[in-house]
Structure 1
C-alpha cells in the first residue's frame, strides 16, 4: 500500500494534469523515473487490489482517500476497477 500511496501523492497530485496530456501518461513517467523495485511493488499492490473483489466505492475510497490521489478516473467516464487494471497494464 505504501508504494500505491507514493504513486498517488507524488504523481497524481493536484497539478498532475500540467505534467501530462493524459493521466495514463503519468504512469509511464512513474515507470520510467522510479527504481524498478518501486514500480514492481506498486504494480503488485494494484494487482492484488484488482483481484480482491472490492466494489467500485471501495476502490474509489482506496485510490482517492487512503492513497490520496487527486485524479478521479470516474470524471473521465472510467470505472475504478478499469482504472486499476489500466494502471497495472501501464506498469508492465
Structure 2
C-alpha cells in the first residue's frame, strides 16, 4: 500500500517553534540521509495519525509532497506522547 503525506518546509527551527506547531495540530519532522542535506518539514497531525497504525507504514516507501515536489522516504524514527494518542516528531530517511 502506498502512503502520501502533504508537507511544507519549516522555516523556524527549535523547541519553541516545535511546540507552537504541535499546539496548532501539526507535526514537526525531518528528512535526512543519502548524502543530501537535511530538510525540516511540518505536516498535519491528522494526515499521519491513522495511517501510522498500519504495520506496512514502517516498512514501505512513503511519498511526501513537499512544496509541490514528490519525495520518496521511509520512517526512521517516531516520537509519541507519553499518554496521549499524539505523534510529537518523525524522522524520515530518503529512500
Higher fraction of helix: 1
Q: Which structure: larger Rg?
A: 2
TM above 0.5: no
TM range (shorter): 0.3 to 0.5
Q: Using CA pairs below 8 Å that are at least 6 residues apart, which structure has the higher relative contact order? A: 1
TM-score, normalised to structure 1, is 0.36
TM-score, normalised to structure 2, is 0.35
